[in-house]
Structure 1
Amino acid sequence: MSDIRVKKAFTLIELIIVIVIVSATYFLVFSTNSFNTQTNNKKISLENLKNSLLNTYEFSQKLEFLCIDDSFDCYAKVDGLVSEEKIVSAFFSQKPEIYEYEAIQTLKEFDEIRINDVDYDVVFKFSINNDFKTNEFILDTQEDKVYIFNSIYDKPSIYDSLSDAFEIFNKNIVEVKDAF
């Protein structure tokens, strides 16, 4: 009798199946991350800013959404550390005006922010503290909408003009004073 040696090897079909499985796994892992980033960029708006940030980031002290003057690109600052990766590109079409949340029209000023070793002027800052309260301000987009951000509400109140926003603000002050 002759010795017949049988070599064990993968068949072509088995190799193709392994390649397909590895490729599908690679595609799912990397395409899901880029898809989520693009989806988050499209979802973030002034109307849902607080909820979008809370659903995306975890923090222990403070979460900030900062937009820079140069291009109106926005970044996250989580517990004092600025992410050097953009969250949203060109969040505003022109420089917004931000006013203190008070009866007098006082423009807010923000500190500079350092991103990739370059200092930028901040034109918009939305903050959430560890009690999930936000900073309060009035935002004039310089287009057709004015937003009042109040720490009580998850969504801002929207008005057609700055004068309408301040009129409602002053009316609310009178109502609160009358209540006491």
Structure 2
Amino acid sequence: MKSIREKGSFTLIELIIVVLIIFTTYFLMFSNSSFDMSKQKEKIGLENLKSFLLNNYEFQKELSFVCIEDDFTCFVKIDDIINEGMKIENFFSEMPEVYEYNKNEIRVEFDEVKINDINHDVVFEFKINNDYKTNEFILDTQNFGVYVFNSIYNKPKKYDDLQMALEKFYLDEVEVRDAF
């Protein structure tokens, strides 16, 4: 009497293993997925703005992140040329207030920017020069906190409100003055 094994047929387990091997090979060869989590696209935000720009764009003189007043759409500007392909809509939910990095609460006025031959008012501009220094300012987002951008910080410092940021500036100023 001949057994099933002698006929040369496959068992159900062997068929399942073959199908799994084929599926795994197909997934690894043709999938756009990556198992390396560090290569996943980084989402841009105020907390990682500097690192995002430096990691994703090359420049010679200046790299900027510019947001216009119309709908708070933001663009990347590389060496004074707007990259219209890098467009982030509704970066802010409300009109941000930008102040000089000092204790006097002086509002920053930005130059207009030309996009598609139309001048737009700028409400926010973050710049990195060729020495990797950034412009320094205090940004009040109105509903998501206050951010202090300074060249020595890799990430901006976040405070609950403008008064807390100004108090911290004053305390730092006193500490530096007392050091001398």
After superposition, the C-alpha distances for 1:34-86 in whole angstroms (9 at most, x for unaligned) are: xxxx945xx10000000000011000110000000001110011011111224
The residue that corresponds to 2:83 in the other structure is 83
- Determine if contact 1:44/1:52 at 8 Å carries over to the other structure: yes
Uncovered stretches (5+) of structure 1, i.e. residues with no partner: 1-23, 29-37
Q: Is the 8 A contact 1:144 1:161 kept in 2?
A: no
Contact 1:73 1:88 in 2 (8 A): yes
CA-atom RMSD, angstroms?
2.1
Cα offset, 1:116, TM superposition = 1.0
- Matched to 1:76, the amino acid is V
- Contact 1:139–1:146 at 8 Å: present in 2 too? yes
Which residue does the alignment assign to 2:20? none
- Check the 8 A contact 1:63/1:128 in 2, yes or no: yes
Q: Which runs of 5 or more residues in structure 2 are unaligned?
A: 1-28, 33-39
Counterpart-to-counterpart distance in 2, 1:113 and 1:85? 16
Q: 1:118 Cα deviation (Å)?
A: 1.1
Question: In the aligned structure 1, how far is the partner of 2:56 from the partner of 2:144?
Answer: 28
How far 1:144 sits from its partner (Å)? 3.6
Q: Distance in 1 between matches of 2:106 and 2:115?
A: 28
> Aligned-pair distance for 1:108?
0.2
Matched, 1:147 2:109: no
Matches within 5 A, 1:54-69: 54-69=54-69
Q: CA deviation at 1:88?
A: 1.4
Any idea what SS the aligned residue of 1:148 has?
strand
Q: Which moved more, 1:118-127 or 1:83-92?
A: 83-92
Q: Percent identity?
A: 54
3-state SS of 1:87 partner: strand
Summarize deviations over 1:80-134 as a string: whole Å, max 9, x none.
1111224311100010000000110000000110111111100000000111111
**TM-score where L is the length of structure 1:** 0.77
- For normalisation by structure 2, the TM-score amounts to 0.77
Question: In the TM superposition, what whole-angstrom CA distance separates every residue of 1:7-59 from its partner, at most 9, and x where no partner exists?
Answer: xxxxxxxxxxxxxxxxx99x96xxxxxxxxx945xx10000000000011000
Which residues in structure 2 correspond to 1:11-90 (within 5 Å)? Answer: 39-40=41-42, 43-90=43-90
